[in-house]
Structure 1
Amino acid sequence: MLKKYGLEKCDDVDILMVGQSKLDEDPNRTLVDPTCYRGIVGSLMYLTASRPDLVFAVYMCARYQAKPTKKRLTTVKQVFRYLKGTLNMGLWYPRDTGFNLTTFADVDHAGCQDSRKRTSDIFTKAFARERFEFLIKRLGMQSITPEELKRLAESDEE
């Protein structure tokens, strides 16, 4: 995806969004090509199955698909910079391994400054670096090198 959208040479970052981040009003409202923007956001949505750390940022970007602006495109590029810095990060689902999915729900109707939607489970807001890194580990995400990934895939085939 980085290559497809011309971002393979961008600088990388190791945290997606800092705490209290929000996509506030874009005063310039410089529109960008909505077809390209939707393609980029759609590509990112595909990754959320193995990258739950992207859910909040991709959701925020997807909200502006009707009339995307240059400011929103800059935010999407920040997600790609994070991807470049965490290429080997993700959830590993070994074959024939059962796992239990646990969900939680709570109510915080006035949490989002933009939409007043709930913002208290971990996929609905940006966190400070320490909290973000703690939750990534708690989710079971790990960094796997391509060599290790190949070895794991081969051991699953046996």
Structure 2
Amino acid sequence: MTTLKPMTTPMRKLLDADEKGEPFDIMLYRSMVSSLMYLTTSRPDITLAVTICAHFQSNPKKSHFKAVVRIFQYLKDHGGFHVDRKSTSGSIQMFGNRLVDWSSKKQNCVSLSTAESEYITAAHYEVRLKFLIQEIGMVKYSA
């Protein structure tokens, strides 16, 4: 991963079945796509590209593998602030089909694992959600 060239977008063009393409190792391809699927919960910017790549797990070609590598290259370049390695979390809150709140926050600490990072983010957004519920008067919240 350290030798990957950075990319500005996760996918350059839509993929097709590439019937005449060179076959690629199914197990490796599935493993890579599976790792990316896990990341889509916290990185919505890669969701479409990963979903498209996931369609070709039963018969991956070299062109599909190159698309997966491009997503990893994108993540390498957009994986957080490179000086202190702290992650940036973001979210939006919708009420019906209306945006009522959004936030983007640099985490206060460097997480040692993805699970720890997600726990910190979930705790932060629980506080924000309780505040929003109280602000719009839906439920009186008492701690």
TM-score w.r.t. length of structure 1: 0.55
- Match in the other structure for 1:17: 11
Identity of aligned residues (%): 29
Q: CA deviation at 1:103?
A: 6.8
* Ranges in structure 1 where 5+ consecutive residues have no aligned partner: 1-6, 94-98, 105-137
Q: 2:103, 2:33 → 1: CA distance?
A: 25
Correspondence for 1:116? none
AA aligned opposite 1:48: T
Alpha carbon RMSD of aligned pairs, Å? 3.3
Distance 2:32 2:96 in 1: 29
Which amino acid in structure 2 is aligned with residue 85 of structure 1? D
Task: Please tell me whether Structure 1 or Structure 2 has the larger radius of gyration of its CA atoms.
Answer: 2
Q: CA, structure 1 residues 100+141, in 2 after alignment: closer, same or farther (shift >3 Å)?
A: closer
Report if aligned partners of 2:88, 2:104 keep a CA contact under 8 Å in 1: yes
Q: Tell me which protein shows more strand as a share of its residues.
A: 2
Aligned counterpart, 2:2: 8
Query: How many positions carry a matched residue from both structures?
Result: 106
Higher helix share: 2
Higher relative contact order (CA 8 A, sep 6+): 1
CA distance in 2, matches of 1:100, 1:37: 34
Instruction: Check conservation: 1:51, 1:90, Cα contact below 8 A.
Output: no
1:125-149, Cα deviation, whole Å (9 max, x unpaired): xxxxxxxxxxxxx97556x48xx44
Per-residue CA deviation, residues 43-81 of structure 1 (Å, 9 max, x unaligned), is 000000110001000000000000000000000000011
Separation in structure 2 between the aligned mates of residue 32 and residue 103 of structure 1, nearest angstrom = 44
Gaps of 5+ in 2: 81-86, 112-116, 124-143
Report deviation, 1:100: 3.6
